[in-house]
């Protein structure tokens, strides 16, 4: 579809949560903003489709949304007025073990700690400290490197967060707390002995205690649809079905923000960049990919641990040591035989996801970047390990390897759903070493994707921060 050649103040390329957040902030300042989306639906990773059988609604990419409900920007928007409704599972997450027991993440710190045996006091003291600090530092932590508003609170959090999960976990002595933390830290999609892997574990546990881990009613597409509806209600324009491969396709605009990763940005706008900026983008590193399965089921997953039947998210991997070894081997290019599996069971709490009496389930494991190995059997064996009889309930399945993930969303390069590895080497230089990570070397061109701080997740903060930078540079508008 060709674009109308009219002038806009700003154009956003890509309508993932970051592109939508950027468009909303710019439009809120009275600018004229166009969001361009290559597919026939907005949302990027926020997509819901009938992938298996009629009536079974599956989240194609993202599924559970603690960071969306905790987002400093999204929580300022009246998204409930645009159709968004969150459902909160009885338990945020559960982590089963081979002996039939499970550790759980509840909204109450005390109730979570009570299930952790000899580590109860250590967990309670830790999370009381982190949850007290997080509301003071969330906006700073989910942004570029700068002097924080609450330096002491940030320093206290940073001293913990920048350590490796393998080091940090030694404050716990028993398998339940250690395993629970392993599952949280494994969301970083890198070896748990890497520096900064503690950060994502602490943030996810803190948001679980402060906000919960909700499911958007009807599917993850509901978040994108609400953001898009709000954006249009304040005067924004969205054009879908228009894939951008060259800057010349774009209408005239004072600022262009790209919700894409360095690989695509170089192809579209590389000729406008300085040699050193192009060199930095070309050296940008992508991390492990994912292999994903969606199931249509004849009933709930029959876990040995009763707590798993009450949780929206399940972390399958047994002990800290087993998860850490699997993530390390996968990062080296070897596929783990017992991989960490992240599983979501939305239909237990959202009856709109499946026909009456049936269920859906969503799961992935980490794989070497670009791997096209079929891991269906390995993942289902891991589920069966903690839920004997699981395979008997499968009515249909849909699988996606890394190539299919990237085909669905070009930002998932090699199946990397985080837009690039978020290790210590790219934590503060994402996607390049610059005073502002959102500014390219070409005036008026910005990058606002998960390849910029704070990285992956449905929170919109990369788009929000990039839009703030563009407002300051181009439109002389300061957003505090």
| Residues 213-242 pLDDT 10s | 999 999 999 999 999 999 999 999 999 999
Mean pLDDT in residue range 43-60: 97
| Residues 322-357 pLDDT 10s | 999 999 999 999 999 999 999 999 999 999 999 999
Multiple choice CATH, 8-40+240-284+419-474, 3.50.50.60, 3.30.70.890, 2.60.40.10, 3.40.50.300: 3.50.50.60
Alpha carbons 377 and 367: distance in angstroms, whole number: 14
Alpha carbons 312 and 458: distance in angstroms, whole number: 17
Tell me what percent of the residues of the chain surpass a pLDDT of 90: 97
Has residue 480 got a pLDDT over 90? Answer: no
- Give Cβ neighbours of residue 377 (< 8 Å, ≥ 6 apart): none
Mean pLDDT in residue range 9-23: 98
Q: Do domains 8-40+240-284+419-474 and 86-215+288-408 have the same CATH topology?
A: no
The confidence score (pLDDT) of residue 28 equals 98
Alpha-carbon distances, residue 32 vs 79, 175, 446 (angstroms): 21, 55, 17
User: pLDDT category, 57, cuts 50, 70, 90?
Assistant: very high
- Give Cβ neighbours of residue 362 (< 8 Å, ≥ 6 apart): 58, 59, 63, 292, 293, 294, 295, 343, 344, 345, 346
Mean pLDDT in residue range 247-269: 97
Alpha carbons 400 and 289: distance in angstroms, whole number: 11
Has residue 75 got a pLDDT over 90? Answer: yes
Alpha carbons 75 and 28: distance in angstroms, whole number: 15
| Residues 123-149 pLDDT 10s | 999 999 999 999 999 999 999 989 999
| Residues 408-449 pLDDT 10s | 999 999 999 999 999 999 988 899 999 999 999 999 999 999
Q: CA angle at residue 242 from 236 to 247, to 5 degrees? A: 90
Has residue 364 got a pLDDT over 80? Answer: yes
The confidence score (pLDDT) of residue 318 equals 97
DSSP three-state, residue 129: helix
Alpha-carbon distances, residue 366 vs 135, 304, 379 (angstroms): 31, 24, 10
Alpha carbons 109 and 125: distance in angstroms, whole number: 9
Q: Is the peptide bond before 454 cis (omega within 30 degrees of 0)?
A: yes
The confidence score (pLDDT) of residue 44 equals 95
Helix axes 175-185, 197-210, angle to 10 degrees: 100
Mean pLDDT in residue range 251-280: 97
Has residue 390 got a pLDDT over 60? Answer: yes
| Residues 159-210 pLDDT 10s | 999 999 999 999 999 999 999 999 999 999 999 999 999 999 999 999 999 9
User: pLDDT category, 6, cuts 50, 70, 90?
Assistant: low
| Residues 302-311 pLDDT 10s | 999 999 999 9
User: pLDDT category, 2, cuts 50, 70, 90?
Assistant: low
Has residue 3 got a pLDDT over 80? Answer: no
Domain boundaries, the chain: 8-40+240-284+419-474, 86-215+288-408
The confidence score (pLDDT) of residue 1 equals 57
The confidence score (pLDDT) of residue 421 equals 96
Phi and psi angles of residue 435, each rounded to the nearest 5 degrees, phi first: -60, -40
Alpha carbons 464 and 480: distance in angstroms, whole number: 12
The confidence score (pLDDT) of residue 262 equals 98
The fold of the 86-215+288-408 domain, in CATH, is: Polyamine Oxidase; Chain A, domain 2 (3.90.660)
- Give Cβ neighbours of residue 449 (< 8 Å, ≥ 6 apart): 14, 16, 18, 19, 258, 259, 260, 261, 411, 419, 462
Average pLDDT across the chain, whole number? 97
Phi and psi angles of residue 81, each rounded to the nearest 5 degrees, phi first: -75, -10
DSSP three-state, residue 429: coil
Mean pLDDT in residue range 272-281: 97
Alpha carbons 366 and 70: distance in angstroms, whole number: 25
């Amino acid at each position: 579809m060709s674009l109308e050649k009219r002038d806009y103040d700003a154009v956003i390329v890509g309508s993932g949560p970051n592109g939508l957040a950027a468009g909303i902030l710019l439009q809120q300042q009275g600018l004229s903003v166009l969001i361009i989306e290559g597919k026939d639906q907005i949302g990027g990773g926020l997509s819901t489709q009938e992938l298996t059988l009629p009536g079974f609604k599956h989240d194609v990419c993202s599924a559970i949304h603690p960071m969306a409900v905790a987002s400093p920007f999204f929580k300022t928007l009246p998204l409930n007025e645009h159709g968004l409704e969150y459902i909160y599972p009885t338990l945020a997450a559960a982590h089963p073990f081979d002996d039939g027991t499970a550790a759980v993440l509840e909204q109450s710190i005390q109730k979570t700690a009570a299930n952790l045996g000899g580590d109860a006091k250590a967990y309670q003291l830790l999370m009381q400290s982190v949850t007290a600090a997080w509301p003071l530092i969330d906006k700073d932590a989910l942004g570029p490197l700068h002097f924080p508003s609450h330096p002491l609170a940030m320093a206290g959090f940073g001293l913990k967060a920048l350590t490796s999960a393998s080091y940090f976990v030694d404050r716990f002595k028993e398998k339940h707390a250690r395993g629970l933390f392993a599952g949280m830290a494994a969301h970083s999609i890198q070896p748990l002995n890497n520096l900064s892997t503690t950060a994502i574990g602490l943030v996810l546990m803190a948001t679980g205690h402060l906000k919960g881990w909700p499911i958007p009613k009807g599917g993850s597409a509901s978040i994108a649809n609400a953001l898009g509806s709000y954006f249009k209600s304040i005067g924004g324009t969205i054009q879908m079905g228009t894939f951008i491969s060259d800057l010349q396709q774009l209408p005239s605009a004072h600022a262009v923000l790209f919700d894409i990763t360095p690989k695509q940005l170089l192809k579209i706008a590389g000729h406008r960049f300085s040699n050193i900026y192009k060199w930095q983008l070309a050296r940008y590193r992508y991390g492990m990919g994912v292999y994903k399965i969606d199931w249509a089921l004849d009933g709930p997953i029959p876990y040995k641990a009763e707590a798993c039947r009450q949780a929206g998210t399940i972390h399958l991997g047994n002990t800290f040591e087993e998860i850490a070894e699997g993530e390390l081997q996968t990062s080296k290019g070897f596929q783990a035989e017992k991989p960490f599996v992240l599983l979501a069971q939305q239909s237990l709490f959202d009856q709109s996801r499946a026909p009456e009496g049936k269920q859906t389930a969503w799961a992935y494991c980490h794989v070497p970047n670009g791997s096209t190995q079929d891991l269906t059997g390995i993942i289902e064996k891991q589920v069966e390990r903690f839920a004997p009889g699981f395979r008997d309930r499968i009515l249909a399945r849909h699988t996606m390897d890394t190539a299919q993930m990237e085909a669905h969303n070009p930002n998932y390069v090699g199946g990397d759903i985080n837009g690039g590895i978020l290790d210590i080497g790219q934590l503060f230089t994402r996607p390049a070493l610059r005073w502002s990570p959102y500014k390219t070397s070409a005036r008026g061109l910005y990058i606002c994707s998960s390849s910029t701080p704070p990285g992956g997740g449905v929170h919109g903060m990369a788009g929000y921060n990039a839009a703030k930078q563009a407002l300051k540079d181009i439109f002389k508008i300061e957003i505090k």
